[in-house]
Structure 1
Amino acid sequence: MIQSFNINNKWKKRGISFVPTVHKVLSRPTPGKVSILNDDSIAIEVGGIELGQGLWTKVKRMVAFALRKLWSDQNQDLLERIRVIQADTLSVVQGGWTTGSTTSESSCEAVRQACNILVDRLKPGKEQFEEKQGNMSWDELILKAQMIGVDLSAREYYVPGPSGTYLNYGAAASEVEIDLLTGATTILRCDLIYDCGQSLNPAVDLGQVGAGCYL
């Protein structure tokens, strides 16, 4: 189609380029801290910085997912209770740098492990209470935990194992049109294929990959 267009047009020409890529990913040790406050809200601290890559959105969703496991039907909506606090080197030590497209997954795993600690602390009291009075809400659970002296803050330092090093695959194909008289260039189409494994947040990841096409 491009060859035919170029033959039949003297002052406008089209071109196409296809570029595959293989990127080696190296995850790094990353800290994460999850705290349940007196107002039943949840505060997260991670070593990474929000640069528009959706890091905070992803860690919030991971915490909501991990803490909902306290209920067998996972019907507790905790996302609106969660906020991310911009950490510093005293509150979250060994934060490291934010780069290489690995900070999100490492931070999410760190807060997931921290949530597992909180779940283990909260579960015994929840089960004892529900044996006597039936199902309890998040607010009731946290109030009960405060009364019996449960530690509601957990920190974890995620250290990746052998699976922390892997290959990412992708490809891009772009079609452009150039006006030979004015030099104007138009991107007619750009198709991307990216293997991100199990996406932490498909909407965020799709937007990030799409934005990368125009950088």
Structure 2
Amino acid sequence: MIKEFNGNNTWRKRAISLVPIIYEVTVSPIPGKVSILQDGSIVVEVGGIEMGQGLWTKVKQMTAFALSSNLSNADDDDENLLDKIRVIQTDSLSLVQSGFTAGSTTSESSCAAVKLCCDILVERLMPIKNRLWEQTGSVKWEALITAGHLESVNFAANAYYVPVAGTGDYLNYGAAVSEVEINLLTGETRILQSDMIYDCGQSLNPAVDLGQT
């Protein structure tokens, strides 16, 4: 089609640009902290900075998944932990060793750190949940947290995610193809169409990844 167009037009020409890419990813260690307040709300802190890449959205989703998959009841329609979670901005004193936000790996590392925190909280709360389940046959989130506070459970968990040796470096692949038209008289350039393919791996949130791309 390009060749046919160029053969039929003297002053306008089209061309295809194909750019493949191989990006070497290096995952960095990053800290995280998850705290459950007395009203059942959840506060999350991570070393990464939200700058439009959807980091906090993914962190909230990971927190909700890691806690609800173990501590919430599937038959409770009102148990939506995602609405109870807020991510707050940290600084280099509240979370030391936070490193820097770069290289499209901060979401990956931050979510891994948050999951480690949630695993600690789940381990602390599971005995209480099991006991309440045996007594009542159902465990509401607020009731679980209230019981935990009465038993002086530590509701703050810190973690420092460090990639396992051999897993911190890998390759991402992608390609972009654009169809461009140039007016040889005026120099006007028009991008008629662009297509991108990017390997997001196991996406935490396809909609966010699509938006970032």
Unaligned runs of 5+ in 2: none
The one-letter amino acid paired with 1:58 is K
1:163 to partner: Cα distance? 1.3
C-alpha distance in 2 between matches for 1:146 and 1:11: 76
Q: Output aligned runs, 1:146-165, within 5 Å.
A: 146-161=149-164, 162-165=166-169
1:130 to partner: Cα distance? 1.2
The one-letter amino acid paired with 2:26 is L
C-alpha distance in 1 between matches for 2:190 and 2:124: 58
What percent of counterpart residues are identical? 61
1:115 to partner: Cα distance? 0.4
1:46 to partner: Cα distance? 0.5
TM-score in terms of structure 2 length: 0.95
1:73 to partner: Cα distance? 2.9
Structure 1 residues 104-133: Cα deviation after superposition (integer angstroms, max 9, x where no partner)? 100000001100100111110010111011
Contact in 1 for aligned 2:73/2:139 (Cα 8 Å): no
Paired residue total? 209
1:183 to partner: Cα distance? 2.0
Tell me the residue number matched to 1:16: 16
1:72 to partner: Cα distance? 5.8
Contact in 1 for aligned 2:73/2:140 (Cα 8 Å): no
2:107 to 100, 104, 108: 104
C-alpha distance in 1 between matches for 2:75 and 2:210: 26
Q: What do you get for the CA RMSD once the two structures are aligned?
A: 1.2
Structure 1 residues 14-50: Cα deviation after superposition (integer angstroms, max 9, x where no partner)? 1101111111111011000000012211001001111
The one-letter amino acid paired with 2:15 is G
C-alpha distance in 2 between matches for 1:187 and 1:135: 59
SS of equivalent to 2:193: strand
The one-letter amino acid paired with 1:175 is E
C-alpha distance in 1 between matches for 2:187 and 2:145: 65
Q: Output aligned runs, 1:3-82, within 5 Å.
A: 3-69=3-69, 70-71=71-72, 73=74, 76-82=79-85
Of 73-82 and 52-61, deviating more is 73-82
**TM-aligned CA distance change 1:22 to 1:45, over 3 Å:** same
Of 67-76 and 92-101, deviating more is 67-76
C-alpha distance in 2 between matches for 1:26 and 1:65: 25
1:136 to partner: Cα distance? 1.3
C-alpha distance in 2 between matches for 1:178 and 1:147: 72
TM-score in terms of structure 1 length: 0.94
**TM-aligned CA distance change 1:46 to 1:121, over 3 Å:** same
Tell me the residue number matched to 1:90: 93
Contact in 2 for aligned 1:68/1:74 (Cα 8 Å): no
